[in-house]
Amino acid sequence: MTRPSRLRPYGLPSMIGLLAGLAACAVGPKYVPPTPPVPPAYKEAPPASFQVMDGWKLAEPRDDIPRGSWWTLFQDPQLHALHEQIDVSNQTLAAAEAQLRGARAAINVARAATFPTVTGTVTATGTRPSLNRSASGSSSASSPRANYQLPLDVAYEFDVWGRIRSTIDANMATAQASAADLESLRLSLHAELATNYFVARGLDAQKQLLELTIAAFERALELTTNRYNQGVASQIEVLQARTQLENTRAQAIDLGVQRSQVEHAIAILLGKPPAEFTLPPATMAIQPPAIPLGLPSELLERRPDIAAAERRVAAANAQIGVARAAFYPTVTLRSSVGFESSSLTNLFSWPSVLWSLGASLVEIAFDGGRREALTAQAQAAYEATVANYRQTVLIAFQNVEDQLAVLRILEAEAQQQDKAVQTAGAVLTLALNRYKGGITTYLEVITAQSAALAAARTAIDLTTRRLTASVLLIKALGGGWTPPDTAPIDPIAKVR
């Protein structure tokens, strides 16, 4: 139920001036970014990390800064060439970019409400009154009549209580969150590509190791066969050597399954059918690079998912303003100007001009508590986004701590594994010499061969895991970042 109010013409300019002054009012809460839980230092960071720098500063979300070509830290030209193709061809990224364009368009949709709405109408009607309507019954009173109208109607809603502004703020914050989501997706895709690439290179290294081992086992089989022909070794030793060789050949073949799957996954990331992409085998001469950590507070600026969560808090805060504005009356200015005549010949003459000007104030008298419920709903949604933001920050720090721990532990394990590889190689050499001298059986050689192969494969696996952990640490830190002397882009201008 609404009750429009009528205004006298001479009081209308005063009313418009008053409304213009009230347009600065807003009933929505002022946005204050939530306080995130930030630790003073990383628990799992090595003591030499420069994250113990003196000085702190208030973190400002920098989701607009490009993540950078962080993969160049690994100094692998092939990896760099693959990364350059993701932004061009990846279909998941293309879908996210389309969603961002839609979010930016929603800003313009909300901004359109700040302008008057102008509608034009062309009307031509013909009427013939009933003969019984006229008391005189004259033919002129009941003859057909024509009427032509060409008005322009203008309606403008004064944003007295900030409803439109709050809607614009909400849509702008949502678009900024979508931009951060796009950067987060881009970072995830690049990290997935690097991870798959290092897994493929690890499998290539495993294949090369097995091929070298197969060649060594072939020589061992030849030695055992010669000793058998000389009557020094038994047939069992020959069969043991052959079994060892065939098992190793089977292991080398089995690597092809995972290698093919990883290659296919890389092809999809590049937006290509698996049949059109091939990753040639190559040696893995890459070691995990040194990754700067920085201050824990800087994580809030680097992580795009944190920036997206913070922008959604801002959007939810603006929606509270939209809900509160519904408690206040809607003020609308309406005007109409045009032409009206019974003949087309004089439609555009001065006597045919018509105009009207007025304002209305509409207030909802009863809605059964709907506005109160919508406000409570908006408040609850805001509190949920705050909790989600803080949880996102906590998970971000967990991601960093997890990968720091993995890198620290795997580095120590790799050092121990290198010693195991050297020891296993020495044992294998000694066992072969003892077998050639007739001191021991071939079973000792087989045991030493299995131990040496297992130790070498474990060392390669550790290198692969360290490389992938380095990628995940870079991802957890938010990817690459621009140098301090590079001026950041205005995030508001980015979505306009």
Give me the helix-helix angle, 163-229 and 442-476, nearest 10°.
170
CATH number, domain at 289? 1.20.1600.10
Q: Compute the distance between CA of residue 420 and CA of residue 51 in angstroms, rounded to an integer.
A: 34
In a domain, 295, yes or no: yes
- The residue range of the domain holding 256 is 36-116+161-332+371-494
**β-pair partners for 294:** none
pLDDT of residue 54: 37
The answer to whether the CB of 372 falls within 8 A of the CB of 348 is: no
Summarised one tens digit per residue, pLDDT across range 46-102 is 765 433 333 334 445 554 444 578 898 898 999 999 999 998 888 888 898 898 899
Q: Which residues contact 380 (CB under 8 A, 6 or more apart)?
A: none
First to last CA, the chain: 38
pLDDT tens string 174-232: 999 999 999 999 999 999 999 999 999 999 999 999 999 999 999 999 999 999 999 88
Report the C-alpha gap between 314 and 141 in whole angstroms. 67
Q: Are 133 and 111 in contact, with CB atoms under 8 Å apart?
A: no
Distance CA 226, CA 373 (A): 91
Pick from 38, 5, 6: which is nearest to 397 by CA? Answer: 38
The total number of structural domains that make up the chain? 1
Confirm whether 249 is domain-assigned: yes
Question: Does residue 133 belong to any structural domain of this protein?
Answer: no
Residue 172 falls inside a structural domain: yes
Q: Above 60 in pLDDT, residue 487?
A: no
Residue 137 counted as domain residue: no
Residue 123 placed within a domain: no
Query: What pTM was computed for the model?
Result: 0.82
In a domain, 385, yes or no: yes
Distances from the Cα of 327 to the Cαs of 20, 21, 156, 316, 370, in angstroms?
Answer: 20, 19, 19, 18, 10
The average pLDDT across 1-11 equals 43
Q: Given this model, what pLDDT does residue 400 score?
A: 94
Which tokens go with 135? 């008391």
**Bigger pLDDT: 16 or 340?**
340
Q: Which of 303, 306, 475, 464 is nearest to 404 (CA)?
A: 475
pLDDT tens digits along 326-381? 898 888 888 888 888 887 778 888 888 888 888 888 888 888 999 999 999 999 99
Residue among 154, 155, 118, 165 nearest 23 (CA): 165
Q: Is residue 13 situated within a structural domain?
A: no
